[in-house]
């Protein structure tokens, strides 16, 4: 009897063990939320034999829609869009899935969202808070896997460029660190951004201070650069009016003074023409005693238009380079070492593609900036296009020419570039082009990081009667004013 009772007890115990194992094997553990550890998750296939009923199924990963981080409009280069991935979806409804690799947050069953607060100390706003059902720890992450929940698109944290989740009312606000202002540095090269200037009232009776005041009034902003022109060897410069423009209280400006000697040939100046040298010495004394601020100094701009490649002409490309060097070295030798030299080209394709064009370069030691004068034409044909065309103008007749901007970057990569004169020649046949062109400048300036200064040439009528006035139409003036307010054109002088 005792033997029979012992056998019955052992049999009952064995059956209970078998029953328990069968219950666990068929998903009972999952029903009470005790998920066996280990990867991958095993899912049962109804109706299949035990050997085929459980197959190893890798967890599926699905990414949320890409979220693009905003680019800094001030930068010359543009940031590439950054994609933030989401956790993997569960394999089957109600079956927990493991955390998405690389996110550092465990995934679980989907669940409705409750707004949460930012994760303290992480530098990235946390996702929404929600009720948590116990789950297993994410393998290797040390963070418990919570239930999955519905994903709500996150907004971008202001100034951070990082996606943030909903923030509870009254929570601490995160602000981006203050951006350092762009300012002029050595040789007047801005630390960032682009200097903004004008040659006001060109070819009119209203020049200097009145023309500048009128231009600033109608465009609604202060001009960083004032562009003035001088000829011959009689009057030293800057003039008293130009000095007053540069030093106006609360409205400091940089002078861009453009000088054409016109006293004799380039070759004679290079060899030490007496009258020209006397003028240069007077200029140096004037600068030492009356104007010690750094300023841009251009010597015979657009000189390629006067090159005469004949032996003895005095106006060869090499004569120009020698003249430029002589002027700079003599001024420096007599104490005018604070001027910032600018070599200003015409950037006209028929000239730039000549065999002698490279011979005009005086040398890195006497050239601080490289400038060029270029205009857009509203009438279709040569020079008609957008800002990119303006900077890299090409010609079907000269297919090997890469455009002036590209040429300078290839031959003088360390030199800052100045658009020393630019504008749009207005046309009544295409009055909308001017406004559209100004819009394109704002869109495209970031593609040309070597451009460090832009100086508009403002005239109602050039020698050909062409009008570059920014207020040629109300729409043009509106777009020019908007352009001047862009962050990229805000540079502190000093």
> Is residue 302 flagged as an active site residue?
yes
Q: Which of 433, 423, 384 is nearest to 215 (CA)?
A: 423
Helix (H, G, I), strand (E, B) or coil at 182: strand
242-252 exposure pattern, b = at least 16 Cβ within 10 A, e = fewer? bbebbeeeeee
The structure tokens listed for 448 are 């040309």
32, 39, 102, 147, 455 from 144: Cα distances, Å: 17, 15, 15, 10, 61
Structure-token match 């999955």, residue found? 148
Helix (H) or strand (E) holding 344: strand 339-345
CA torsion through residues 9, 14, 18, 23, sign: positive
Q: Which of 348, 331, 427, 357 is nearest to 390 (CA)?
A: 348
Among 242, 421, 440, 479, the active-site one is 421
Among 30, 216, 242, 302, the active-site one is 302
Q: Rounded CA gap, 363 and 59, in Å?
A: 65
> Is residue 421 flagged as an active site residue?
yes
Q: Rounded CA gap, 195 and 405, in Å?
A: 17
The structure tokens listed for 44 are 């049962």
Q: Which of 458, 378, 377, 367 is nearest to 414 (CA)?
A: 367
Residues 6+ apart with CB under 8 A from 409: 450
Pairing of strands 54-56, 155-156: unpaired
Q: Rounded CA gap, 258 and 202, in Å?
A: 13
278, 285, 303, 304 from 236: Cα distances, Å: 11, 10, 21, 25
State the Cα torsion 239-240-246-247 to the nearest 10°.
160
Q: Which residue numbers are catalytic?
A: 302, 421
């Amino acid at each position: 009897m005792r033997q029979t009772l012992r056998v019955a007890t052992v049999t009952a115990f064995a059956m209970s063990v078998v029953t328990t194992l069968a219950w666990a094997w068929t998903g009972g553990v999952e029903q009470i939320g005790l998920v066996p550890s280990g990867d991958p998750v095993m899912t049962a296939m109804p109706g299949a034999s035990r050997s085929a009923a459980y197959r190893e199924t890798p967890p599926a990963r699905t990414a949320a829609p890409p979220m693009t981080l905003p680019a800094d409009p001030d930068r010359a280069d543009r940031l590439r869009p950054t994609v933030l991935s989401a956790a993997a979806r569960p394999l089957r409804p109600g079956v927990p899935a493991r955390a998405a690799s690389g996110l550092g947050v465990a995934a679980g069953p989907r669940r409705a969202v409750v707004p949460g607060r930012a994760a303290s100390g992480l530098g990235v706003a946390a996702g929404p808070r929600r009720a948590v059902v116990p789950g297993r720890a994410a393998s290797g992450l040390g963070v418990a896997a919570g239930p999955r929940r519905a994903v709500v698109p996150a907004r971008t944290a202001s100034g951070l460029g990082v996606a943030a989740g909903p923030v509870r009312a009254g929570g601490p606000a995160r602000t981006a660190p203050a951006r350092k202002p762009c300012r002029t540095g050595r040789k007047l090269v801005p630390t960032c951004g682009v200097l903004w200037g004008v040659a006001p009232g060109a070819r009119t009776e209203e020049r200097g201070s009145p023309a500048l005041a009128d231009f600033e009034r109608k465009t609604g902003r202060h001009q960083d650069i004032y562009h003035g022109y001088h000829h011959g060897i009689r009057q030293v410069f800057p003039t008293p009016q130009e000095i007053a423009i540069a030093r106006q209280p609360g409205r400091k400006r940089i002078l861009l003074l453009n000088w054409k000697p016109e006293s004799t040939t380039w070759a004679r100046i290079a060899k030490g023409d007496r009258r020209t040298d006397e003028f240069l010495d007077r200029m140096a004394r004037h600068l030492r005693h009356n104007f010690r601020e750094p300023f841009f100094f251009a010597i015979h701009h657009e000189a390629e238009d006067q090159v005469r490649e004949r032996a003895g002409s005095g106006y060869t490309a090499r004569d120009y380079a020698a003249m430029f060097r002589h002027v700079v070295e003599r001024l420096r030798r007599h104490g005018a070492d604070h001027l910032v030299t600018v070599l200003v080209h015409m950037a006209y394709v028929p000239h730039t593609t000549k065999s002698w064009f490279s011979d005009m370069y005086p040398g890195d030691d006497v050239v601080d900036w490289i400038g060029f004068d270029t205009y857009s034409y509203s009438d279709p044909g040569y020079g008609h296009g957008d800002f990119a065309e303006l900077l890299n103008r090409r010609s079907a007749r000269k297919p090997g020419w890469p455009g002036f901007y590209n040429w300078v970057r290839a031959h003088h990569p360390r030199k800052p570039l100045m658009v020393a004169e630019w504008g749009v020649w207005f046309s009544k046949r295409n009055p909308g082009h001017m406004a559209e062109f100004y819009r394109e400048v704002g869109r495209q300036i970031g593609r040309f990081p070597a451009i460090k200064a832009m100086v508009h040439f403002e005239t109602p009528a050039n020698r050909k009667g062409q009008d570059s006035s920014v207020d040629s139409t109300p729409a043009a003036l509106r777009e020019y004013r908007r352009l001047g307010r862009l962050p990229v054109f805000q540079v502190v002088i000093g």
